[in-house]
A and B are shown apart, each in its own frame.
Chain A
């Protein structure tokens, strides 16, 4: 079995990462009740004998001694990382996995990318190598960061290039949190566009996530819970308890619940690679099936049923509803409508008590309502993982490579242009060493090329199905 390393960058990345490790531990604890260190756990954790001094003390078999996350934590402030180190998850990390600074990136991509990038490059490489050495077959890096600020966006994308150079064989899956349009960071459009060029060039897959969508989904779940629709078994506050252990003080804030959704996304994305099932889906199958052209690797995700994201116990609804919901607009993790755009490819990753025939029936049922690109009319990839999420009977993660990301990208470009036309705040960036005006124009043209590629595909929607003449054979 292969292993993955999570690299969490910046405040947002570390908060989500923290939720992820908490949930990952809970999931493996529920599945693995004997406390034996098995291959499934080994994909994200190493087993360490803490009584032995030094570093070469990983135990590959037998009882779980002390689990250490396969992670590198990077932040240019100390707050969040310190909080993690003082919290209940402190034992899964050690100081050798951390890179912190005290000055922060000031919401400036250039500071994160150029200043901290060059300052910390060596340290980053060293920590990554160390993490890689602990794996016997490293398959994937999961990078978690936000796009709007300075550290996550700037240093997070700097890291991507480092990974590509140092570990060309290892996949780079990036979870990118996009700020909502009412974001309070004025320069976030710059940061986003500058970061996107790096994502387009150096990531294998990007899972864009919109903060606003997360917020809407949480509101929706709260409404379901509070309206009593889900029955009396629901404990209204249980939603936040799932990560209460991780960051106790933040309980009242909606961020925990939102971060939990992203953590669940990562768990479900990797479940078929970690656990058994009748139709496995390894991580390398994701990009193989969902990325038809190298740059078009932005995947829209949706998780259903929503209540699996909360820690509530309700009687399962109709199974088919789960499949329908996965395609509806208000279940997507970015604000986009895949149903009314063009699908290039779609993956359905099912967990739990769902049979092959349920999957097939639902694909047949939903297919007529979805539009697929002419050359990929049957662009479905499916997996069945036997292990459901903790406390639930089944769940579905849908990943879509769909032109519905285009409006989001266009809107980001517009926000960028509004600032850029006035050269607003540009001097904050240009005074950073290595940062030139051409960085902006190149980032802009990279995004425009991407939008154009989606445009060209969208244009085929209204065209009649092309009938490509086949090779003719002289008989």
Chain B
């Protein structure tokens, strides 16, 4: 049985840099000799990964099912040659589109100028990739929301994909900027991006730079952290979710359509489509050699990371505990109140490695973890494989649709709103046809999203 394929569209500097790391991680993992499973199983895993993310060329070098888009050439050139230099995989020869002049951190420029102007060229490249797939599951759209090209053009391209491939799924991999200091207009660009994607994407898988930075510093023990380090953490997160897993309990067939299955279990309502990933364990290779793990320990930590909204296993707040099961929640959550307990809509746990069948997931089936209108039976899913991921004998990933983003989202909307009230920078957007009305629409939509998540 073949696996359905995913076409990746990587946009802007951030999207292209991360896209490279993702494919590199996927391929390195699937070719790793340390899969800790039998040869046949390893082969099936490899085949499944390859069908999903790569197409084969004549000389045997896998070609990423990807379209690279940027409005300036430097990053694309760098990305293409890095992939070619790996010798293990590469990008298609004609699968990129770039221009000479970037979007200048201006969402309006990316969305209103570059978007319509280059729609046809980009969509032609996408179509070529789609035609190479026996069966298409959907699209990964990798983009940051801070800049101009990834965010503005990314929002535009997602809309075009919705129009032209309405039966395929669209999952946007959103890189959430640092709280301080990447792009000054990042809050404007972010609210415009998020509000547009909320209308055109099926799910937003959010990766926070601040969280990845902490993981590099605290768990990976990296002293001087580079973008490449951060991007490798994000690529690891994605790989841990989208590498093959068994289709059902006890089966040794790999899941055909992970994107579809994931949406089905995690996005039960269109008002709630913000997803986040957490991984355990995560550590430097040198520490890994001296560590052993049990499923019980890993899952206990992972559950606490979920309910206390910790992005990594260090510094988890163990005080946070669910209300007594069945106890009605005490009043509505107010925005000013600290969100202590992270209530979920739905969770998916993915386990990879040794003795995976013995792992007890009871802790994730507690109704107290979930909003009252969903039964844990529907709200919780688990995927497994005995194949180990990236040198970790045992590892778990958790994709959750929960309140985890309420606070960062509220921050971004709040900062953008206060800037908007002073009318600062608005002239840069109206210059390219994004009016104050459009900002107000975005604010309205996102305040609604915040309120909905708050009231879970």
Contacts and interface: CB of A to CB of B under 8 A. Distances in A.
Interface in B153-201: 178-185
B311 to A, nearest CB: 16
18 contacts: A139-B101, A278-B226, A278-B228, A279-B13, A280-B13, A284-B103, A287-B428, A288-B148, A288-B185, A294-B427, A355-B226, A357-B224, A357-B226, A376-B424, A380-B180, A468-B421, A471-B417, A475-B455
Contact of A288 (B106, B224, B417): B106
B60 to A, nearest CB: 31
Contact of A289 (B183, B452, B455): B183
Interface in A170-227: none
Nearest to A272: B74
B190 to A, nearest CB: 12
Given A278-B227, A356-B226, A284 B181 contact: no
Nearest to A136: B100
Contacts of A364: 180
Contacts of B217: 357
B181 A382 contact: yes
Interface in A328-386: 344-345, 348, 355-360, 363-364, 367, 374-382, 384
Contacts of B223: 357
A39 B76 CA distance: 14
Given A363-B181, A381-B183, A473 B444 contact: yes
Interface of B: 13, 17, 72-75, 78, 100-106, 148, 178-185, 213, 216-217, 222-228, 230, 413-415, 417-419, 421-425, 427-428, 440, 443-444, 447-448, 451-452, 455
Nearest to B455: A475
Interface string A376-412: 1111111010000000000000000000000000000
Contacts of A472: 447
Contacts, number: 144
B181 A375 contact: no
B228 A376 contact: no
A137 B183 contact: no
Interface of A: 1-2, 39, 136-137, 139, 276, 278-280, 282-285, 287-294, 344-345, 348, 355-360, 363-364, 367, 374-382, 384, 466, 468, 470-473, 475
A470 B105 contact: no
B73 A378 contact: no
Given A375-B422, A471-B443, A288 B104 contact: yes
Nearest to A39: B73
Contact of B102 (A284, A357, A380): A284
B100 A378 contact: no
Given A136-B100, A276-B78, A381-B182, A356 B443 contact: no
A152 to B, nearest CB: 29
Contacts of B75: 280
Contacts of A367: 180
A363 B179 CA distance: 12
A348 B104 CA distance: 16
A378 B226 contact: no
A466 B102 contact: no
A443 B393 CA distance: 73
A440 B114 CA distance: 43
Contacts of B13: 279-280
Contact of A293 (B78, B424, B448, B451): B424
